[in-house]
A and B are shown apart, each in its own frame.
Chain A
Protein backbone atom coordinates (compact mmCIF):
# COMPACT_ATOMS: atom_id res chain seq x y z
CA UNK A 1 0.00 0.00 0.00
CA UNK A 2 2.04 2.96 -1.30
CA UNK A 3 0.44 5.56 1.01
CA UNK A 4 1.12 3.42 4.07
CA UNK A 5 4.58 2.04 3.36
CA UNK A 6 6.08 3.80 6.38
CA UNK A 7 3.25 2.96 8.76
CA UNK A 8 4.12 0.83 11.77
CA UNK A 9 1.91 -0.66 14.43
CA UNK A 10 2.67 -1.39 18.06
CA UNK A 11 0.43 -4.03 19.62
CA UNK A 12 -0.20 -4.40 23.32
CA UNK A 13 -2.43 -6.47 25.57
CA UNK A 14 -5.48 -4.90 27.16
CA UNK A 15 -7.81 -6.16 29.84
CA UNK A 16 -10.77 -5.22 27.60
CA UNK A 17 -12.84 -7.77 25.73
CA UNK A 18 -12.57 -5.87 22.45
CA UNK A 19 -9.74 -5.11 20.10
CA UNK A 20 -9.08 -1.38 20.19
CA UNK A 21 -7.20 1.22 18.19
CA UNK A 22 -5.87 4.00 20.39
CA UNK A 23 -6.48 7.53 19.15
CA UNK A 24 -3.04 9.03 19.38
CA UNK A 25 -3.97 12.74 19.33
CA UNK A 26 -3.70 13.07 23.12
CA UNK A 27 -0.43 11.17 23.16
CA UNK A 28 0.97 13.47 20.48
CA UNK A 29 0.02 16.54 22.50
CA UNK A 30 1.56 15.06 25.65
CA UNK A 31 4.77 14.20 23.77
CA UNK A 32 4.91 17.80 22.49
CA UNK A 33 4.51 19.19 26.01
CA UNK A 34 7.28 16.93 27.27
CA UNK A 35 9.46 18.07 24.37
CA UNK A 36 9.09 21.68 25.55
CA UNK A 37 10.23 20.69 29.04
CA UNK A 38 12.92 18.15 28.14
CA UNK A 39 15.10 19.14 25.20
CA UNK A 40 15.67 16.30 22.71
CA UNK A 41 12.67 14.36 23.99
CA UNK A 42 11.19 12.60 20.94
CA UNK A 43 7.88 13.56 19.36
CA UNK A 44 5.25 10.86 18.96
CA UNK A 45 6.07 9.10 15.66
CA UNK A 46 3.90 10.28 12.76
CA UNK A 47 3.33 6.86 11.30
CA UNK A 48 2.79 4.82 14.44
CA UNK A 49 -0.53 3.15 15.20
CA UNK A 50 -1.32 1.65 18.61
CA UNK A 51 -3.55 -1.40 18.75
CA UNK A 52 -4.69 -3.23 21.86
CA UNK A 53 -5.72 -6.86 21.77
CA UNK A 54 -7.46 -8.76 24.57
CA UNK A 55 -4.86 -10.46 26.73
CA UNK A 56 -6.90 -13.66 26.48
CA UNK A 57 -6.12 -13.74 22.74
CA UNK A 58 -2.37 -13.46 23.18
CA UNK A 59 -1.58 -16.95 21.88
CA UNK A 60 -4.22 -17.31 19.19
CA UNK A 61 -3.49 -16.79 15.51
CA UNK A 62 -6.88 -16.77 13.83
CA UNK A 63 -8.83 -14.46 16.18
CA UNK A 64 -6.07 -11.91 15.87
CA UNK A 65 -6.96 -11.45 12.20
CA UNK A 66 -9.36 -8.89 13.71
CA UNK A 67 -6.34 -6.66 14.28
CA UNK A 68 -6.74 -5.75 10.58
CA UNK A 69 -9.98 -3.91 11.45
CA UNK A 70 -8.10 -1.74 13.95
CA UNK A 71 -5.39 -1.08 11.38
CA UNK A 72 -8.23 0.16 9.18
CA UNK A 73 -9.17 2.74 11.84
CA UNK A 74 -5.61 4.06 11.84
CA UNK A 75 -5.51 4.32 8.04
CA UNK A 76 -8.99 5.90 7.97
CA UNK A 77 -7.84 8.71 10.22
CA UNK A 78 -4.44 9.07 8.66
CA UNK A 79 -5.95 9.43 5.18
CA UNK A 80 -8.71 11.72 6.55
CA UNK A 81 -11.45 9.66 4.91
CA UNK A 82 -13.90 10.86 7.58
CA UNK A 83 -14.33 14.23 5.85
CA UNK A 84 -15.11 12.57 2.50
CA UNK A 85 -17.68 10.24 3.98
CA UNK A 86 -19.25 12.97 6.12
CA UNK A 87 -20.05 14.93 2.94
CA UNK A 88 -21.64 11.79 1.51
CA UNK A 89 -23.61 11.26 4.72
CA UNK A 90 -24.92 14.81 4.58
CA UNK A 91 -25.95 14.37 0.94
CA UNK A 92 -27.61 11.02 1.71
CA UNK A 93 -29.62 12.60 4.52
CA UNK A 94 -30.72 15.54 2.39
CA UNK A 95 -31.96 13.29 -0.38
CA UNK A 96 -33.23 10.43 1.76
CA UNK A 97 -34.94 12.10 4.72
CA UNK A 98 -37.83 14.56 4.30
CA UNK A 99 -37.42 15.77 7.89
CA UNK A 100 -33.66 16.35 7.80
CA UNK A 101 -33.81 19.98 6.62
CA UNK A 102 -36.27 20.83 9.41
CA UNK A 103 -34.07 19.36 12.15
CA UNK A 104 -32.21 21.57 14.59
CA UNK A 105 -28.47 21.70 13.99
CA UNK A 106 -27.73 19.55 17.06
CA UNK A 107 -30.05 16.84 15.73
CA UNK A 108 -28.44 17.07 12.32
CA UNK A 109 -25.02 16.71 13.91
CA UNK A 110 -26.19 13.64 15.81
CA UNK A 111 -27.49 11.77 12.76
CA UNK A 112 -24.50 12.77 10.60
CA UNK A 113 -22.19 11.57 13.36
CA UNK A 114 -24.03 8.24 13.55
CA UNK A 115 -23.88 7.72 9.80
CA UNK A 116 -20.21 8.69 9.67
CA UNK A 117 -19.32 6.38 12.55
CA UNK A 118 -21.21 3.50 10.94
CA UNK A 119 -19.43 4.24 7.66
CA UNK A 120 -16.06 4.11 9.43
CA UNK A 121 -16.89 0.68 10.87
CA UNK A 122 -17.92 -0.62 7.44
CA UNK A 123 -14.72 0.83 5.97
CA UNK A 124 -12.62 -0.96 8.58
CA UNK A 125 -14.41 -4.28 7.97
CA UNK A 126 -13.88 -4.05 4.22
CA UNK A 127 -10.29 -2.96 4.88
CA UNK A 128 -9.77 -6.15 6.92
CA UNK A 129 -11.41 -8.35 4.26
CA UNK A 130 -9.34 -6.69 1.54
CA UNK A 131 -6.09 -6.92 3.49
CA UNK A 132 -6.42 -10.52 4.69
CA UNK A 133 -9.14 -12.13 2.56
CA UNK A 134 -11.83 -14.42 3.98
CA UNK A 135 -9.84 -15.32 7.11
CA UNK A 136 -10.68 -11.83 8.43
CA UNK A 137 -14.39 -12.42 7.88
CA UNK A 138 -14.21 -15.91 9.38
CA UNK A 139 -12.53 -14.46 12.48
CA UNK A 140 -15.33 -11.87 12.63
CA UNK A 141 -17.98 -14.59 12.44
CA UNK A 142 -16.23 -16.51 15.21
CA UNK A 143 -15.83 -13.48 17.48
CA UNK A 144 -19.58 -12.80 17.39
CA UNK A 145 -20.64 -16.44 17.10
CA UNK A 146 -22.68 -15.47 14.04
CA UNK A 147 -22.83 -18.96 12.57
CA UNK A 148 -25.37 -19.66 15.33
CA UNK A 149 -28.02 -18.04 13.11
CA UNK A 150 -27.85 -21.06 10.81
CA UNK A 151 -30.01 -24.03 11.60
CA UNK A 152 -28.75 -27.60 11.27
CA UNK A 153 -29.60 -27.58 7.54
CA UNK A 154 -27.51 -24.46 6.93
CA UNK A 155 -30.45 -22.05 6.45
CA UNK A 156 -30.88 -18.73 8.25
CA UNK A 157 -33.25 -19.17 11.15
CA UNK A 158 -35.47 -16.08 11.74
CA UNK A 159 -35.51 -16.20 15.53
CA UNK A 160 -31.76 -16.60 15.75
CA UNK A 161 -31.12 -13.49 13.63
CA UNK A 162 -32.85 -11.10 16.04
CA UNK A 163 -30.05 -10.78 18.66
CA UNK A 164 -27.53 -9.63 16.06
CA UNK A 165 -29.56 -7.41 13.74
CA UNK A 166 -29.92 -4.37 16.04
CA UNK A 167 -27.86 -1.28 15.20
CA UNK A 168 -26.00 0.57 17.97
CA UNK A 169 -25.32 4.28 18.32
CA UNK A 170 -21.72 3.86 17.14
CA UNK A 171 -21.84 0.54 15.27
CA UNK A 172 -23.97 -1.05 12.58
CA UNK A 173 -25.41 -4.41 13.57
CA UNK A 174 -23.15 -7.46 13.39
CA UNK A 175 -25.43 -8.92 10.73
CA UNK A 176 -25.33 -5.84 8.52
CA UNK A 177 -21.54 -5.66 8.80
CA UNK A 178 -21.20 -9.31 7.87
CA UNK A 179 -23.55 -8.91 4.94
CA UNK A 180 -21.40 -6.06 3.59
CA UNK A 181 -18.30 -8.24 3.88
CA UNK A 182 -20.13 -11.03 2.05
CA UNK A 183 -21.10 -8.69 -0.81
CA UNK A 184 -17.55 -7.31 -0.94
CA UNK A 185 -15.93 -10.76 -1.03
CA UNK A 186 -18.39 -11.90 -3.70
CA UNK A 187 -16.86 -9.33 -6.02
CA UNK A 188 -13.29 -10.41 -5.20
CA UNK A 189 -11.24 -13.33 -6.57
CA UNK A 190 -11.70 -15.06 -3.19
CA UNK A 191 -15.36 -15.84 -3.86
CA UNK A 192 -14.65 -18.82 -6.07
CA UNK A 193 -12.80 -20.43 -3.16
CA UNK A 194 -15.47 -19.47 -0.61
CA UNK A 195 -18.17 -20.86 -2.90
CA UNK A 196 -16.47 -24.25 -3.01
CA UNK A 197 -15.71 -24.37 0.72
CA UNK A 198 -17.63 -26.77 2.95
CA UNK A 199 -16.96 -24.61 6.04
CA UNK A 200 -20.09 -23.60 7.92
CA UNK A 201 -18.84 -20.01 8.00
CA UNK A 202 -18.65 -20.05 4.18
CA UNK A 203 -22.24 -21.33 4.07
CA UNK A 204 -23.25 -18.37 6.21
CA UNK A 205 -21.58 -15.93 3.80
CA UNK A 206 -23.31 -17.54 0.83
CA UNK A 207 -26.69 -17.43 2.58
CA UNK A 208 -26.45 -13.88 3.87
CA UNK A 209 -25.82 -12.26 0.54
CA UNK A 210 -29.49 -12.06 -0.38
CA UNK A 211 -30.83 -10.64 2.90
CA UNK A 212 -33.02 -7.63 1.91
CA UNK A 213 -32.29 -4.18 3.35
CA UNK A 214 -35.91 -4.01 4.54
CA UNK A 215 -35.19 -6.78 7.04
CA UNK A 216 -32.65 -4.48 8.75
CA UNK A 217 -34.97 -1.45 8.60
CA UNK A 218 -37.89 -3.36 10.07
CA UNK A 219 -36.01 -4.56 13.14
CA UNK A 220 -34.34 -1.25 14.03
CA UNK A 221 -37.24 1.03 15.04
CA UNK A 222 -36.22 4.70 15.22
CA UNK A 223 -32.78 4.06 13.73
CA UNK A 224 -34.24 2.08 10.84
CA UNK A 225 -34.74 5.08 8.51
CA UNK A 226 -30.96 5.72 8.53
CA UNK A 227 -30.05 2.27 7.24
CA UNK A 228 -30.99 2.86 3.55
CA UNK A 229 -28.88 6.02 3.74
CA UNK A 230 -25.93 4.06 5.07
CA UNK A 231 -26.54 1.60 2.27
CA UNK A 232 -26.36 4.45 -0.25
CA UNK A 233 -22.93 5.51 1.12
CA UNK A 234 -21.41 2.04 0.81
CA UNK A 235 -20.45 2.40 -2.89
CA UNK A 236 -18.39 5.42 -1.85
CA UNK A 237 -16.75 3.37 0.94
CA UNK A 238 -15.82 0.70 -1.57
CA UNK A 239 -14.41 3.39 -3.83
CA UNK A 240 -12.22 4.63 -0.97
CA UNK A 241 -11.07 1.07 -0.31
CA UNK A 242 -10.20 0.75 -3.99
CA UNK A 243 -8.07 3.90 -3.81
CA UNK A 244 -6.36 2.72 -0.60
CA UNK A 245 -5.42 -0.65 -2.10
CA UNK A 246 -4.69 0.52 -5.63
CA UNK A 247 -2.10 -1.78 -7.19
CA UNK A 248 -2.02 -4.11 -4.19
CA UNK A 249 -2.02 -7.86 -4.88
CA UNK A 250 -4.99 -9.68 -3.34
CA UNK A 251 -2.70 -12.62 -2.63
CA UNK A 252 -5.29 -14.95 -4.09
CA UNK A 253 -3.07 -16.27 -6.89
CA UNK A 254 -0.42 -17.33 -4.41
CA UNK A 255 -3.09 -18.84 -2.17
CA UNK A 256 -4.52 -20.87 -5.06
CA UNK A 257 -1.09 -22.21 -5.88
CA UNK A 258 -0.09 -23.21 -2.35
CA UNK A 259 -3.32 -23.93 -0.45
CA UNK A 260 -3.53 -27.65 -1.14
CA UNK A 261 0.14 -28.18 -0.22
CA UNK A 262 -0.22 -26.24 3.03
CA UNK A 263 -3.31 -28.26 3.90
CA UNK A 264 -1.35 -31.45 3.25
CA UNK A 265 1.39 -30.31 5.63
CA UNK A 266 -1.13 -29.48 8.34
CA UNK A 267 -2.91 -32.82 7.88
CA UNK A 268 0.45 -34.48 8.54
CA UNK A 269 1.09 -32.38 11.65
CA UNK A 270 3.89 -30.37 10.05
CA UNK A 271 4.57 -26.63 10.28
CA UNK A 272 4.14 -25.34 6.68
CA UNK A 273 6.96 -22.79 6.67
CA UNK A 274 9.05 -24.44 3.93
CA UNK A 275 7.05 -26.21 1.24
CA UNK A 276 8.45 -28.70 -1.25
CA UNK A 277 6.66 -28.22 -4.56
CA UNK A 278 7.41 -30.85 -7.21
CA UNK A 279 8.33 -29.19 -10.52
CA UNK A 280 8.90 -32.27 -12.66
CA UNK A 281 8.52 -36.02 -12.73
CA UNK A 282 11.78 -36.74 -10.87
CA UNK A 283 11.76 -36.63 -7.04
CA UNK A 284 14.79 -34.33 -7.01
CA UNK A 285 13.02 -31.69 -9.12
CA UNK A 286 11.59 -29.81 -6.19
CA UNK A 287 11.11 -26.10 -5.62
CA UNK A 288 11.23 -24.77 -2.10
CA UNK A 289 8.62 -22.12 -1.28
CA UNK A 290 7.97 -20.09 1.87
CA UNK A 291 4.31 -19.03 1.89
CA UNK A 292 3.34 -15.50 2.91
CA UNK A 293 1.47 -14.80 6.17
CA UNK A 294 -1.68 -14.00 4.16
CA UNK A 295 -1.60 -17.40 2.45
CA UNK A 296 -0.79 -19.18 5.72
CA UNK A 297 -3.65 -17.52 7.60
CA UNK A 298 -6.23 -18.32 4.94
CA UNK A 299 -5.08 -21.90 4.42
CA UNK A 300 -4.77 -22.48 8.15
CA UNK A 301 -8.22 -21.06 8.84
CA UNK A 302 -9.74 -23.23 6.10
CA UNK A 303 -8.04 -26.29 7.61
CA UNK A 304 -9.28 -25.40 11.09
CA UNK A 305 -12.84 -24.96 9.84
CA UNK A 306 -13.04 -28.14 7.78
CA UNK A 307 -10.41 -30.75 8.69
CA UNK A 308 -9.90 -30.98 12.46
CA UNK A 309 -11.75 -34.30 12.55
CA UNK A 310 -9.54 -35.74 9.84
CA UNK A 311 -6.38 -34.63 11.67
CA UNK A 312 -7.56 -36.14 14.95
CA UNK A 313 -8.55 -39.42 13.37
CA UNK A 314 -5.03 -39.80 12.00
CA UNK A 315 -3.50 -39.60 15.48
CA UNK A 316 -3.26 -42.68 17.62
CA UNK A 317 -5.66 -42.92 20.61
CA UNK A 318 -7.33 -39.59 19.79
CA UNK A 319 -11.10 -39.04 19.99
CA UNK A 320 -12.58 -36.16 17.99
CA UNK A 321 -15.79 -36.17 20.03
CA UNK A 322 -14.05 -35.06 23.25
CA UNK A 323 -14.14 -31.27 23.45
CA UNK A 324 -10.89 -30.64 25.40
CA UNK A 325 -9.02 -32.80 22.90
CA UNK A 326 -10.52 -30.85 19.96
CA UNK A 327 -9.44 -27.64 21.67
CA UNK A 328 -5.93 -29.06 22.07
CA UNK A 329 -5.66 -29.72 18.32
CA UNK A 330 -7.23 -26.43 17.31
CA UNK A 331 -4.56 -24.73 19.41
CA UNK A 332 -1.90 -26.88 17.79
CA UNK A 333 -3.07 -25.79 14.32
CA UNK A 334 -2.90 -22.16 15.41
CA UNK A 335 0.58 -22.71 16.82
CA UNK A 336 1.77 -24.29 13.56
CA UNK A 337 0.47 -21.32 11.57
CA UNK A 338 1.94 -18.80 14.04
CA UNK A 339 5.28 -20.62 13.89
CA UNK A 340 5.24 -20.61 10.08
CA UNK A 341 4.53 -16.86 10.09
CA UNK A 342 7.41 -16.30 12.52
CA UNK A 343 9.71 -18.45 10.34
CA UNK A 344 8.74 -16.40 7.28
CA UNK A 345 10.50 -13.39 8.82
CA UNK A 346 13.85 -15.18 8.43
CA UNK A 347 15.53 -14.05 5.24
CA UNK A 348 15.72 -16.77 2.58
CA UNK A 349 19.26 -17.78 1.76
CA UNK A 350 20.11 -17.45 -1.93
CA UNK A 351 22.86 -19.58 -3.45
CA UNK A 352 23.76 -19.21 -7.13
CA UNK A 353 20.72 -17.04 -7.69
CA UNK A 354 18.25 -19.62 -6.34
CA UNK A 355 16.57 -19.72 -2.95
CA UNK A 356 17.49 -22.88 -1.04
Chain B
Protein backbone atom coordinates (compact mmCIF):
# COMPACT_ATOMS: atom_id res chain seq x y z
CA UNK B 1 0.00 0.00 0.00
CA UNK B 2 1.24 3.46 -0.87
CA UNK B 3 -0.04 6.70 0.59
CA UNK B 4 -1.54 9.03 -2.00
CA UNK B 5 0.14 12.38 -2.55
CA UNK B 6 -1.71 15.69 -2.76
CA UNK B 7 -1.22 15.72 -6.53
CA UNK B 8 -2.65 12.23 -6.94
CA UNK B 9 -5.64 13.03 -4.71
CA UNK B 10 -6.40 16.16 -6.73
CA UNK B 11 -5.95 14.30 -10.03
CA UNK B 12 -8.43 11.65 -8.99
CA UNK B 13 -10.92 14.26 -7.72
CA UNK B 14 -11.00 15.79 -11.22
CA UNK B 15 -12.01 12.55 -12.93
CA UNK B 16 -15.57 11.94 -14.01
CA UNK B 17 -17.44 9.79 -11.52
CA UNK B 18 -17.75 6.95 -14.02
CA UNK B 19 -13.96 6.60 -14.13
CA UNK B 20 -12.73 3.59 -12.14
CA UNK B 21 -10.13 5.77 -10.36
CA UNK B 22 -12.57 8.57 -9.53
CA UNK B 23 -12.40 9.91 -5.98
CA UNK B 24 -15.19 12.18 -4.71
CA UNK B 25 -14.82 14.56 -1.77
CA UNK B 26 -17.75 16.98 -1.69
CA UNK B 27 -18.21 19.83 -0.88
CA UNK B 28 -14.79 20.49 -2.37
CA UNK B 29 -12.20 21.09 0.41
CA UNK B 30 -10.62 24.56 0.51
CA UNK B 31 -7.18 24.79 -1.09
CA UNK B 32 -5.47 25.01 2.31
CA UNK B 33 -7.07 21.72 3.35
CA UNK B 34 -4.64 19.73 1.19
CA UNK B 35 -1.40 18.69 2.86
CA UNK B 36 1.34 16.79 1.05
CA UNK B 37 -0.17 13.42 2.01
CA UNK B 38 -3.60 14.12 3.48
CA UNK B 39 -6.78 16.21 3.25
CA UNK B 40 -8.37 18.03 6.16
CA UNK B 41 -12.04 17.22 6.70
CA UNK B 42 -14.53 19.52 8.38
CA UNK B 43 -17.12 18.87 11.05
CA UNK B 44 -20.68 18.49 9.76
CA UNK B 45 -23.83 20.10 11.12
CA UNK B 46 -25.67 17.05 12.47
CA UNK B 47 -25.15 15.28 15.81
CA UNK B 48 -26.60 12.34 17.68
CA UNK B 49 -26.46 12.75 21.43
CA UNK B 50 -26.55 9.40 23.23
CA UNK B 51 -29.16 9.13 25.95
CA UNK B 52 -28.33 7.30 29.16
CA UNK B 53 -29.63 3.78 28.53
CA UNK B 54 -31.99 2.32 31.13
CA UNK B 55 -30.22 -1.04 30.90
CA UNK B 56 -26.68 -2.09 30.12
CA UNK B 57 -25.95 -2.56 26.44
CA UNK B 58 -23.14 -4.11 24.54
CA UNK B 59 -21.93 -2.76 21.21
CA UNK B 60 -24.39 -3.32 18.42
CA UNK B 61 -26.39 -6.00 20.22
CA UNK B 62 -30.11 -5.40 20.55
CA UNK B 63 -30.41 -5.47 24.32
CA UNK B 64 -31.53 -2.21 25.90
CA UNK B 65 -33.49 0.67 24.42
CA UNK B 66 -30.34 2.62 23.62
CA UNK B 67 -31.30 5.68 21.60
CA UNK B 68 -30.02 9.09 20.62
CA UNK B 69 -31.33 12.62 20.31
CA UNK B 70 -30.77 14.25 16.91
CA UNK B 71 -29.42 17.80 16.92
CA UNK B 72 -28.75 20.15 14.00
CA UNK B 73 -26.23 22.95 14.49
CA UNK B 74 -26.14 25.37 11.54
CA UNK B 75 -22.89 26.64 10.07
CA UNK B 76 -21.64 29.56 12.14
CA UNK B 77 -23.13 28.25 15.37
CA UNK B 78 -21.44 25.90 17.86
CA UNK B 79 -21.96 22.77 19.93
CA UNK B 80 -20.61 22.28 23.45
CA UNK B 81 -19.32 18.82 24.40
CA UNK B 82 -19.31 18.58 28.20
CA UNK B 83 -16.32 17.15 29.99
CA UNK B 84 -16.05 13.34 29.71
CA UNK B 85 -19.09 13.18 27.40
CA UNK B 86 -19.50 11.69 23.94
CA UNK B 87 -21.52 12.57 20.86
CA UNK B 88 -21.80 11.16 17.37
CA UNK B 89 -21.07 13.62 14.58
CA UNK B 90 -20.20 13.36 10.90
CA UNK B 91 -17.81 14.94 8.49
CA UNK B 92 -19.12 17.79 6.37
CA UNK B 93 -17.51 16.11 3.38
CA UNK B 94 -19.21 13.23 1.60
CA UNK B 95 -16.63 10.75 0.33
CA UNK B 96 -16.70 8.13 -2.39
CA UNK B 97 -13.67 5.88 -2.65
CA UNK B 98 -12.87 3.94 -5.82
CA UNK B 99 -12.20 0.22 -5.64
CA UNK B 100 -8.42 0.64 -5.42
CA UNK B 101 -8.30 3.03 -2.45
CA UNK B 102 -8.63 2.56 1.29
CA UNK B 103 -8.60 5.39 3.76
CA UNK B 104 -7.91 6.23 7.35
CA UNK B 105 -9.32 9.15 9.28
CA UNK B 106 -7.28 10.72 12.08
CA UNK B 107 -7.91 13.40 14.65
CA UNK B 108 -6.23 16.66 13.68
CA UNK B 109 -3.34 17.24 16.03
CA UNK B 110 -4.59 20.69 17.06
CA UNK B 111 -7.89 19.10 18.08
CA UNK B 112 -6.22 16.15 19.81
CA UNK B 113 -4.17 18.54 21.93
CA UNK B 114 -7.43 19.80 23.44
CA UNK B 115 -8.05 16.18 24.53
CA UNK B 116 -10.79 15.68 21.98
CA UNK B 117 -10.90 12.28 20.25
CA UNK B 118 -12.99 12.16 17.10
CA UNK B 119 -12.57 8.71 15.67
CA UNK B 120 -12.19 5.25 17.12
CA UNK B 121 -13.14 3.21 14.03
CA UNK B 122 -10.89 4.97 11.55
CA UNK B 123 -10.64 2.56 8.63
CA UNK B 124 -12.52 3.31 5.40
CA UNK B 125 -13.00 0.45 2.97
CA UNK B 126 -12.75 0.66 -0.84
CA UNK B 127 -16.01 1.67 -2.55
CA UNK B 128 -17.28 3.38 0.61
CA UNK B 129 -19.56 6.30 -0.06
CA UNK B 130 -21.02 8.60 2.56
CA UNK B 131 -20.13 11.14 5.20
CA UNK B 132 -17.93 9.59 7.89
CA UNK B 133 -19.50 9.13 11.30
CA UNK B 134 -17.27 10.58 14.03
CA UNK B 135 -17.31 9.22 17.57
CA UNK B 136 -16.48 12.48 19.29
CA UNK B 137 -15.32 12.21 22.90
CA UNK B 138 -14.21 15.02 25.17
CA UNK B 139 -11.71 13.27 27.42
CA UNK B 140 -10.60 16.50 29.09
CA UNK B 141 -11.77 17.94 32.38
CA UNK B 142 -13.35 21.03 30.79
CA UNK B 143 -16.23 21.54 28.34
CA UNK B 144 -15.11 22.03 24.72
CA UNK B 145 -16.80 24.02 21.97
CA UNK B 146 -16.87 22.64 18.43
CA UNK B 147 -17.92 24.55 15.30
CA UNK B 148 -19.46 22.81 12.27
CA UNK B 149 -17.58 23.77 9.11
CA UNK B 150 -14.15 23.92 10.79
CA UNK B 151 -11.44 21.30 10.24
CA UNK B 152 -11.51 18.46 12.72
CA UNK B 153 -9.95 15.44 10.99
CA UNK B 154 -7.35 14.34 8.46
CA UNK B 155 -8.05 11.84 5.72
CA UNK B 156 -5.13 9.72 4.56
CA UNK B 157 -5.68 7.63 1.41
CA UNK B 158 -3.82 4.49 0.44
CA UNK B 159 -3.79 2.67 -2.87
CA UNK B 160 -4.72 -1.00 -2.69
CA UNK B 161 -3.51 -3.24 -5.48
CA UNK B 162 -5.77 -6.13 -4.45
CA UNK B 163 -8.87 -4.21 -5.42
CA UNK B 164 -12.39 -5.19 -4.37
CA UNK B 165 -15.18 -6.00 -6.82
CA UNK B 166 -16.73 -3.28 -8.95
CA UNK B 167 -20.12 -1.80 -8.08
CA UNK B 168 -21.79 -0.56 -4.95
CA UNK B 169 -21.16 -2.34 -1.68
CA UNK B 170 -23.76 -3.73 0.70
CA UNK B 171 -26.49 -1.15 1.21
CA UNK B 172 -26.37 -0.95 5.01
CA UNK B 173 -23.90 1.89 5.08
CA UNK B 174 -24.20 3.27 1.53
CA UNK B 175 -24.73 6.97 1.38
CA UNK B 176 -25.18 8.16 4.98
CA UNK B 177 -24.95 11.92 5.29
CA UNK B 178 -25.88 12.16 8.96
CA UNK B 179 -24.29 10.36 11.92
CA UNK B 180 -25.96 7.00 12.27
CA UNK B 181 -26.68 4.78 15.24
CA UNK B 182 -25.23 1.28 15.09
CA UNK B 183 -27.48 -1.20 13.33
CA UNK B 184 -29.11 -3.27 16.09
CA UNK B 185 -28.77 -7.03 15.77
CA UNK B 186 -30.20 -9.69 18.00
CA UNK B 187 -27.60 -10.85 20.54
CA UNK B 188 -28.55 -14.54 20.20
CA UNK B 189 -27.93 -14.52 16.47
CA UNK B 190 -24.60 -12.79 16.94
CA UNK B 191 -23.60 -15.53 19.43
CA UNK B 192 -24.71 -18.19 16.96
CA UNK B 193 -22.58 -16.66 14.21
CA UNK B 194 -19.64 -16.54 16.60
CA UNK B 195 -20.09 -20.25 17.41
CA UNK B 196 -21.02 -19.69 21.08
CA UNK B 197 -23.59 -22.14 22.44
CA UNK B 198 -24.95 -20.23 25.42
CA UNK B 199 -24.90 -16.66 26.63
CA UNK B 200 -26.05 -14.70 29.68
CA UNK B 201 -28.94 -12.30 29.04
CA UNK B 202 -27.88 -8.90 30.46
CA UNK B 203 -31.51 -8.18 31.43
CA UNK B 204 -31.69 -10.89 34.12
CA UNK B 205 -28.25 -12.50 34.10
CA UNK B 206 -29.69 -15.92 33.24
CA UNK B 207 -28.10 -18.28 30.74
CA UNK B 208 -29.91 -18.58 27.41
CA UNK B 209 -29.45 -21.05 24.56
CA UNK B 210 -28.21 -19.42 21.39
CA UNK B 211 -30.75 -18.59 18.66
CA UNK B 212 -30.45 -21.13 15.89
CA UNK B 213 -31.54 -18.88 13.00
CA UNK B 214 -28.76 -17.68 10.81
CA UNK B 215 -30.35 -14.66 9.16
CA UNK B 216 -30.91 -11.22 10.64
Contact = CB atoms under 8 A, between A and B. Distances in A.
Interface string A315-340: 11110000001001100100110110
A271 interface: yes
Interface in B150-204: 167-171, 174-178
Interface string A242-281: 0000000000000000000000110011111110101000
Given A317-B171, A335-B177, A356-B31, A283 B94 contact: no
B94 A273 contact: yes
A338 B94 CA distance: 13
B138 to A, nearest CB: 25
B27 interface: yes
A271 B90 CA distance: 14
Interface stretch (B10-18, B58-66, B103-111, B112-120): B10-18
B75 interface: yes
**Most B CB atoms within 10 A — which of A269, A325, A349?**
A269
B31 A283 contact: no
A32 interface: no
A16 to B, nearest CB: 22
B126 to A, nearest CB: 14
**B interface SS class:** loop
Interface in B1-41: 11, 13-19, 24, 26-28, 30-31
B99 interface: no
A349 B31 contact: yes
Contacts of A268: 17-18, 96, 129, 168
Contact of A271 (B11, B170, B177): B177
A288 B17 CA distance: 13
B50 interface: no
A187 interface: no
Nearest to A345: B75
B40 to A, nearest CB: 13
A343 interface: yes
B45 interface: yes
A269 B175 contact: yes
A314 interface: yes
A264 B18 contact: yes
A316 B167 CA distance: 8
Contacts of A283: 14-16, 19
Given A314-B167, A316-B169, A335-B178, A270 B14 contact: no
B16 A269 contact: no
A53 to B, nearest CB: 15
B177 A339 contact: yes
B149 interface: yes
B17 A276 contact: yes
Given A270-B24, A271-B94, A356-B31, A315 B171 contact: yes
Interface size bucket, A side? Answer: 35 or more
A346 B27 contact: yes
A273 B88 CA distance: 23
B149 A269 contact: no
B56 to A, nearest CB: 29
A288 B174 contact: no
A271 B15 CA distance: 16
Contact of B17 (A264, A284, A328): A264
A317 B216 CA distance: 13
B31 A274 contact: no
Contacts of B96: 268-270
Contacts of B17: 264-265, 268, 270, 276
A336 B26 contact: no
A318 B26 contact: no
A305 B16 CA distance: 25
Contacts of A345: 75
B101 to A, nearest CB: 15
A349 B168 contact: no
Contacts of A342: 45
Contacts of A315: 168-171, 174
Contacts of A343: 26-27, 92
**Most A CB atoms within 10 A — which of B28, B45, B75, B129?**
B28
A318 B168 CA distance: 11
Nearest to B21: A283
Given A270-B129, A274-B28, 10 more contacts: A270-B26, A273-B26, A273-B27, A274-B24, A274-B27, A283-B14, A286-B15, A315-B169, A335-B178, A349-B30
Interface of B: 11, 13-19, 24, 26-28, 30-31, 45, 75, 92, 94, 96, 129, 131, 149, 167-171, 174-178
The list of the 4 closest CB pairs from A to B, nearest first, reads A274-B26, A343-B27, A271-B94, A339-B177
Interface of A: 264-265, 268-274, 276, 278, 283-284, 286, 288, 290, 314-318, 325, 328-329, 332, 335-336, 338-339, 342-343, 345-346, 349, 351, 356
